[in-house]
Every structure is written in C-alpha cells, then in structure tokens.
Structure 1
C-alpha cells in the first residue's frame, strides 16, 4: 500500500467518524463518559489483578468504590453548590450595577488622574465588560436549562454510564487483543507505535488534564471561600471546571472574583489584592508545576488549535462535542505528526535522487 492510499484511508476513516458522531450525537453521552471512565480506571483494575484478584472482581471493586465516592460527594456538596450557583446568577446583575456606581463615584478622581477622555473610556470599558460577563452567565444558564437533560435523560445517564464502564473494563484486555490481531502483519510494529503515541496523548488528556482541572476547582473554591469572598465556592468551581479551555477558566474566574471583591470589600483594597494574588499565584504554580508534572508534553497541541477544536466540536455536537474535542484533537495531533514524519521521509519531500535513503514510502 503506497502513501497516497494510506492518506486516503485515514481521511475516509475520519470522515466516517465525524459523520457517525453527528448522526448518533443524541445518544452517545453515556457511552463517551463510560469509555472515558473505563480508560481512567483500567490501571487500578490491572493493579488489583496483579494482587491475585480476578478481572471481574477487580472491575466490580474499583467501579463500585468510585461510584460510592461520587454519590457521597454529590449528596454532601450538591445542596451547597446549587444554592451558591443560583445565588451568584441572581446577584450578578446587582454586582454589575454596584461596580458601575463605584466607577461613577471614582469619576472625579479618574478625571484628575487620567483626564476626562481616558476616564470616560475606562468607565465604558468596565460597563461593557460587566455587561458581557452577565450576558455570558445568562447564556450558559439558558444552555444548561435547555440542553435537553430532562429528568428521564439524567436518570438514563446515571444508570447507563456505570454499566458501559463496567462492561468495557471487564473486557478491556480482550478488546486490546482483538485490535492487535486485526492489524496488518507487515505494518504492525509501525501502527503499534502510533497507538502508543495516541495512548500517551489520551493519558495526558484524561488523566493528566482531568487531574489538573479537579485540583484547580478544589483550590480556587477553597481559597476564595477561606478569604470570605461571597459565592467563593461557586466562583472557584466555575473557574476550575472551565479551565479545560485554555485561559478561559482563569479569565472568567479572575473577572468574577475581582469584581465581587471590589463591591464586597470596598474600600479595603488589600482584600481585592489578595483575591487577585490567589489567581495569579495559582496560575504560576499550574503552568510551572502541575502541567509539567501531570500533563507534560504528551498532548503537544497549540492552545489556539485546542480552542478552535473546542469551538468547532461544540458548535457541531453541543456538550458532547466539548467532551470529545480535546481527546480527538490529541489523536489528530499524533496522526498529523506521523504524517509529517512520513512526508519528510518521502521522495515528494527529498526528491527522486534521495529515494534510496529517504525511507520506505510504502509503510
């Protein structure tokens, strides 16, 4: 099989995959989440197997333990989180109005310091930013309400997701062997190398980036609550859970928390500085400690392309697209890098005079 046929096969596979996702997007959510859960928990099941557990018992123990922990956290935290989120949504227009009132109160000082034109520009900027922030929260709230997650679909999701994860975990080794047996003998080693790269990227996405997301949410919620910020728990969770979109979680959380802090603690500027320092300090720790340790360069995707993937898949498939965007972008990145390597080893890149030393173009 020559290089052109391989490229056509991969393009056809991706077209088929996108088409299938679009057709079945309404029912795929429990299967996608169940598969991600199975992939995440498979190392724990394998460890129990090494401790002489059977595959069935290891799967049952790990999955039941995780489900019990999730249900316990859900029961303990849901009332408090729900009340804070609803309170924040209801109070946000009031915070915007209070900030505009403070800006008008500072107008004389700003006029003296910046001049009338710049002071008016600052006031308009603050007003526009708060209006956009209120609008964004309103859009997110309406999308959540109108997302089709009715009571029946929520019940179906909570029932089907653990079942999907259980059966995938139970037969994980068999599925891996089945895929291995289907690989062409001539190119098996090369394809296995690509699959190992994909596995490394997926581990960075699901285990690494998922761990960073949860750590961000816990830290922001705890830190903002400890300094006494109104709705600190809700703002921290919003900032942490939105951090899977590069810089969006940080930006939204910073804008919300600083705006609330100015209204709440005025004229105590030190508390505003403390809230600002929480976000800036943690952003430094996340970029220099958490990501290198937990994610490293396994994803290897430019943040611009990552944001494009999130917007594109979100527009095509809704919430399901947001869940699939980063893993599919990671897989696409691996395949693109492989294609570039093959291209640089081909006669198309090197020229016909280098054909003998340019590598095997049929692999």
Structure 2
C-alpha cells in the first residue's frame, strides 16, 4: 500500500532541500564530479554505439578516452594560446575602443555630450571604469578561472572520474531504476525518458551547434582580417547555447570591432596626417558572416541537430541559468539546464494530469443527472 500523498510530498520535499543544500555547501568541491557526469552523459551514446559494433564497454571507454585526449591536446596547443592572447589584447584595447566611440558620437550626435545631460555623465563614468578596471578585471577573471579549473582537475581528476562514470554508466542507471518507489516506477521512468530526450536534443544537439558555429565564426572572421576574430567567434559560439543571445552579442561585438578596425579616419604616418578610407567590403563581409551563420543555424543546424521542439523555452532556460548561477555559482550553471528540463517535463505532466482530472473536465452528463436526482431526493 502506497504512502499517503501528504507523506510522499513531505519526504520528496526534504530530499529536494537536502540536494540543494548539498550543492550550495559543497560548491566548487562538486565541480569536477558535475563536469565529469556531464561529459560522461554526452559520451554515453558513442560508447553504446561502439558496443553494438562488438567492442566491450571497457574497450569502448578506452577508445573514447584516447580520442578525447588527442583532440584536447590539439586544441590546447593550437587554439588556446591564440585565444588567450586575443582576449588579453581585447581587454587592453577596450579603453581605446570606447574613446573612438566617443569621438564618433561627438562628431555625429553632439547633443549626447552636453555636459549637463545624464547620458554624458554616464558615458564618462563608463570610460573611467574601463580604464581603471580593465586590467584588474582580466586579472581577476584569469585568477578565478585558474582557481576554478586548476591543473589537477583539468589534467587528472575530471578525466579519471569521467572514465569510471562512462564505464559504469549503464549499471548506475540500472541501480537507480531498482531504487525507484515501486508504485511510481512506471511514471518516473516515463518522465525520466522524456527528460533524457529533452536533454539529449538540447545539450548534445545544441552543443554540436555551438561548436560548428563557433568554428565557423572564428575561421571566417580571421580570414577577413578581423584582429580579434578567434575570441569573437568563440564568444558567439559559446553563447549560442542561450537562444538568440549568441547571435546578438557576437554580432554586435564583431561588427563593433570591424568598425573600429576598418573605419576610415586620420592617422599619423612619419609625422604627417594621412586620411584612411573606410573598408566597406570587410565591414560588409563581417555582417555577411553572421547573416550566413544565422541562416544555417535556423534552417539547417538547429532543425537537424536539435529538433523543432525540445521543450525548453528560452525564457525558462535564461531564468534557470540566472537563478542557479547566482545561488550556486558555476556549478549551479552546469545543473541549471537539467533542472530546467526536469521542471519543464514535470510541469507538462502536471498540466496533463490536471486536464484529465475532474477539476478540469467536471462531471459527465450521466454524473450530472445522478447528482441532480440525488439532490432532488434529498429535497423531498
């Protein structure tokens, strides 16, 4: 006999509070385990496919690990140094970018720079902040990253944990299934299957879209000669994970950098003032790159790799990332997508149950007739 609903709600509520409290207390201690679990989840279909080809689970895990190590080394040696250098240069040049923007606006929109206006005061304050805090911000960010992703975790801990999780993934799923409450096991399995499909289509599919778009943007922007093409493409590709945000931020950043680099103006060469013409072709190419990227994302990549409906509304995703990131830091952002997917599936299940309940449908015609007859009898 199942426990009363009130007791079940109480126990599951306690379990949820304990889970969230553990995440909040342990924080960065859980980070390598959360990262390893996310990586193992993404690689599990590859391991399953290799098993179907005749490899054992252990051998499939070894093959995946070796391939991942080779790819990581190639990226670390070929891409990361350039990416770090461009990011550093971009932060250093930020004050000059702001000053050039001021000069452009002062020339074309002089009213914005009336010293008595609030806009002028705000712009000046932003400029001073960038000048005084730009280097400090980069230093803080890099130190935070190094403290977060320390060498031990990157080079040893996460790969080792991922290896063991990937090897035992199917057995762990079976163990969890055996621990489900027997009365609710079929419903929990159905909800878990829906959550898995949502996560698979979003994380694996959208992750692939991010990699493809990031590589395309970075390569194309560098080919047209944009100085910070690699870091701009990486930012645009990474933010594509959040619908519409990647295109907006990446497009604004790259077009702004293109205007800064290719816009004509006066410059000093050997003590003489030289007028430089605006390179409209390259500015147009930068705009065209993002237009092409958005076309392929919306019409080819997302429909084929992610699907037309994944059950994760952009507003729900952004809300989950904001809340969990604020409460639990980087670990919270990692678990935000699974939590958002779970909430979406459970919410749809709750709506389905409500629409099949008496509260929504009311009484049938026969039940209404019997109810009316019963009331008439009582009145007599």
Pick the TM interval, shorter chain.
Answer: 0.7 to 0.9
Question: Can you list the C-alpha shifts for 1:60-114, whole angstroms capped at 9, x where unaligned?
Answer: 1112211221122112212211111111111122122122223333x2xx68xxx
The alignment status of 1:274 with 2:276, answered yes or no, reads no
Q: Which runs of 5 or more structure 2 residues have no equivalent in the other structure? A: 264-277, 368-380
Q: Does the Cα contact within 8 Å between 1:250 and 1:279 map onto a contact in 2?
A: yes
Of residues 88, 92, 101 in structure 2, which corresponds to 1:86?
Answer: 88
Of residues 161, 166, 182 in structure 2, which corresponds to 1:164?
Answer: 161
2:23 maps to which residue? Answer: 21
Q: Distance in 2 between matches of 1:102 and 1:51?
A: 62
TM-score normalised by the chain length of structure 1: 0.84
Q: Evaluate the alpha carbon distance shift between residue 54 and residue 118 of structure 1 in structure 2; reply closer, same or farther with a 3 A threshold.
A: same
2:304 maps to which residue? Answer: 293
1:207 maps to which residue? Answer: 204
Q: Which runs of 5 or more structure 1 residues have no equivalent in the other structure? A: 357-363
Q: Distance in 1 between matches of 2:253 and 2:88?
A: 15
The alignment status of 1:325 with 2:361, answered yes or no, reads no
Q: Distance in 1 between matches of 2:149 and 2:48?
A: 34
The alignment status of 1:303 with 2:305, answered yes or no, reads no
Partner SS for 1:199: helix
Pick the structure with greater CA Rg.
2
Residue correspondence of structure 1 range 61-80 to structure 2 within 5 A: 61-80=63-82
Aligned length: 348
The alignment status of 1:335 with 2:332, answered yes or no, reads no
Identify which range, 34-43 or 296-305, moves more after superposition: 296-305
Q: Does the Cα contact within 8 Å between 1:29 and 1:157 map onto a contact in 2?
A: no
Q: Does the Cα contact within 8 Å between 1:261 and 1:275 map onto a contact in 2?
A: yes
Q: Evaluate the alpha carbon distance shift between residue 315 and residue 354 of structure 1 in structure 2; reply closer, same or farther with a 3 A threshold.
A: farther
The alignment status of 1:177 with 2:174, answered yes or no, reads yes
Q: Evaluate the alpha carbon distance shift between residue 224 and residue 96 of structure 1 in structure 2; reply closer, same or farther with a 3 A threshold.
A: same
Q: Does the Cα contact within 8 Å between 2:36 and 2:158 map onto a contact in 1?
A: yes
Q: Does the Cα contact within 8 Å between 1:99 and 1:259 map onto a contact in 2?
A: no
1:52 maps to which residue? Answer: 54
Of residues 219, 222, 227 in structure 2, which corresponds to 1:230?
Answer: 227
State the Cα RMSD in Å. Answer: 3.3
Of residues 241, 252, 255 in structure 2, which corresponds to 1:244?
Answer: 241
1:360 maps to which residue? Answer: none
Q: Comparing both chains, which one has the higher relative contact order based on Cα–Cα distances under 8 Å and sequence gaps of 6 or more?
A: 1
Q: Evaluate the alpha carbon distance shift between residue 20 and residue 162 of structure 1 in structure 2; reply closer, same or farther with a 3 A threshold.
A: same
1:254 maps to which residue? Answer: 251
Partner SS for 2:79: helix
Partner SS for 2:55: coil
Q: Distance in 2 between matches of 1:223 and 1:233?
A: 9
